[in-house]
């Protein structure tokens, strides 16, 4: 039976319903991961959980130690990764509360430690990253969202920006012109590092606000927090379905 790791983003620093077996700190050659790894049972299946931004939420997107996080989960026994990400909506269909299971991404980040293949190498390695998300995991997420009756899109392009600031309206115009449907700050290098470790990886993205320029007025944290409060509970139900194989 596959051991799934869940990486929780903003709003998901703990996994309610997890029957905790142990919590442990996993050493890595790349420094400390964001938080202790929680191991236990969720929906009757073994699962690992890691809070991407720490617990409490304290690590900004550009300072997350993505290499340590993925390495730690792999060493702890993870065989597949389900990532939960809070994002902004660019496409008209991506309103607050909408879920997206992206099939593609564009990386706009810079200065992040983005690969394990660096330093004193015996040979150069190039991974195939044509299709960054595992299709089987995507289908499980899509089936779970459909079974729950939630508003979702089964395809989408995730544009990953540097953060921690939100984007300008002009930047969102550029992202839309590039083909992005949603925008977030944590999708990369996480997805690429999972591929380097041969970990199947998929993203459950929750839209928590319209992207800059897509709504009147400024984007407020109150609006984002309200969307998170409602959406994260739904995300937990989706994850439970996927893990239980009942989607």
- Going by the annotation, the residues of the binding site are 10, 52-53, 185-186, 209-211
Helix (H, G, I), strand (E, B) or coil at 138: helix
Strands 157-160 and 182-184: parallel
Residue 119 dihedral angles phi and psi, to the nearest 5°? 95, -145
d(CA 34, CA 71): 12
**100 pairs with which residues across the strands?**
153, 205
Binding residues for substrate: 185, 209-211
The C-alpha atoms of residue 72 and residue 33 are separated, in whole angstroms, by: 7
Please answer whether residues 223 and 209 qualify as being in contact, where contact means their C-beta atoms are separated by less than 8 angstroms. yes
CA distances (Å), origin 67, targets 49, 52, 82, 133: 16, 11, 16, 18
48 preceded by a cis bond (ω within 30 of 0): no
* Largest distance between two CA atoms of the chain: 54
For tokens 């564009």, the residue is: 106
Cis-peptide into 98, omega within 30 deg: no
List binding-site positions for phosphate. Answer: 10, 52-53, 186
- Report DSSP state, residue 89: E
User: By CB neighbour count within 10 A (0-12 exposed, 13-18 middle, 19+ buried), where does 32 fall?
Assistant: middle
């Amino acid at each position: 039976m596959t051991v799934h790791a869940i990486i929780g983003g903003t709003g998901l620093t703990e996994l309610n319903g997890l029957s905790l077996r142990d919590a442990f700190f996993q050493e890595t050659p790349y420094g400390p991961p964001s938080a202790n790894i929680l191991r236990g049972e969720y929906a009757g299946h073994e699962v690992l959980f890691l809070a991407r931004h720490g617990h409490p939420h304290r690590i900004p997107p550009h300072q997350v130690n993505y290499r340590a996080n993925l390495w730690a989960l792999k060493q702890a026994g993870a065989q597949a990764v389900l990532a939960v990400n809070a994002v902004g909506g660019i496409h008209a269909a991506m309103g607050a509360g909408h879920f997206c299971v992206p099939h593609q991404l564009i990386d706009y980040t810079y200065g992040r430690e983005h690969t394990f293949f660096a330093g004193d190498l015996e040979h150069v390695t190039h991974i195939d990253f044509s299709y960054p998300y595992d299709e089987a995991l995507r289908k499980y997420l899509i089936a779970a969202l459909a079974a729950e009756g939630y508003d979702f899109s089964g395809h989408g392009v995730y544009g990953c920006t540097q953060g921690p600031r939100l984007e300008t309206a002009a930047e969102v115009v550029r992202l839309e012109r590039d083909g992005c449907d949603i925008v977030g700050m944590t999708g990369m290098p996480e997805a690429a590092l999972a591929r380097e470790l041969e970990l199947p990886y998929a993203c459950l993205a929750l839209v928590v606000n319209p992207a800059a320029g897509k709504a009147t007025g400024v984007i407020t944290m109150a609006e984002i927090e309200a969307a998170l409060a409602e959406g994260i509970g739904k995300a937990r139900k989706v994850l439970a379905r996927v893990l239980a194989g009942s989607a």
